[in-house]
Amino acid sequence: MDVHAFRTAVEARATHLAMLPEEGEAPPITPGNAAWSWEVLLRNRSIDAWVHEQDIRRAVNRPGSLGTGGAQVTTRAFAAGMPYVLGKHVAPPAGTSVLWRVTGDVPLEIGAVIGDDGRAAAEVADDPTSTLSMTNEAFTILCAGRRPADKIEAAVGGDEGLGRAVLGAMTLTR
């Protein structure tokens, strides 16, 4: 793209963005016609862009960008899905708990505990049934479905079977 075409595209997009929608107004187009708010649509576009950037970086062996705003948004959005992973994808018995220790440029501790109703709540248990430790790069690779669990580095503490089942179920982009 030449400089003139680039400037024209930037001006057009800036004009479009200047006409932001009213609060609560739904986007006119979403992937799969999902009922997303503008906030969800824009967050998910940020996640898509960062995940695809990481795909390209891995393909050309140029790692990086693991602590940027895109990495923060992506890692935290995926972290919010871990109780769902435990409760719906793995569905262990009541009282089961998992702690994800994410290290690296976006460190997090994410906990989930299965309640008596079979639903998982975001909660860090005092003595988790299983603890999963990995970098934020490995965490996002699993959550984005870029590699199977046996192709990433993750340490499992406590209940090994549960930990491996959770690692294998972490893809959120199904």
37-46, 63-72, 107-116: least confidently modelled range: 37-46
Average pLDDT over residues 132-152: 97
DSSP state letters, 63-125 = ---SSSHHHHHHHHHHHHTHHHIIIIII---TT-EEEEEEESSS-EEEEEEE-TTS-EEE---
Average pLDDT over residues 26-35: 83
Question: pTM of the entire structure?
Answer: 0.85
75 or 24, which is more confident: 75
Residue 1 has pLDDT above 70, yes or no: no
Q: Which among 102, 103, 98 is positioned nearest to 83, based on CA atoms? A: 98
Looking at residue 168, its pLDDT comes to: 98
Q: What is the pLDDT of residues 81-111, one digit of tens each?
A: 999 999 999 999 999 999 999 999 999 999 9
CATH classification number, 42-168, choose in 3.40.50.300, 3.30.1360.10, 3.30.1050.10, 3.40.50.720: 3.30.1050.10
Q: What is the pLDDT of residues 54-75, one digit of tens each?
A: 999 999 999 999 999 999 999 9
Residue 20 has pLDDT above 80, yes or no: no
Domain ranges of the chain: 42-168
Confidence of residue 14 (pLDDT cuts 50, 70, 90): confident
99 or 29, which is more confident: 99
For 65: left if phi > 0, alpha if psi spans -120 to 50, otherwise beta; the answer is left
Looking at residue 33, its pLDDT comes to: 86
Q: What is the mean pLDDT of the chain?
A: 93
19-28, 31-40, 41-50, 150-159: least confidently modelled range: 19-28
Output the CA torsion sign for 125, 127, 132, 135.
positive
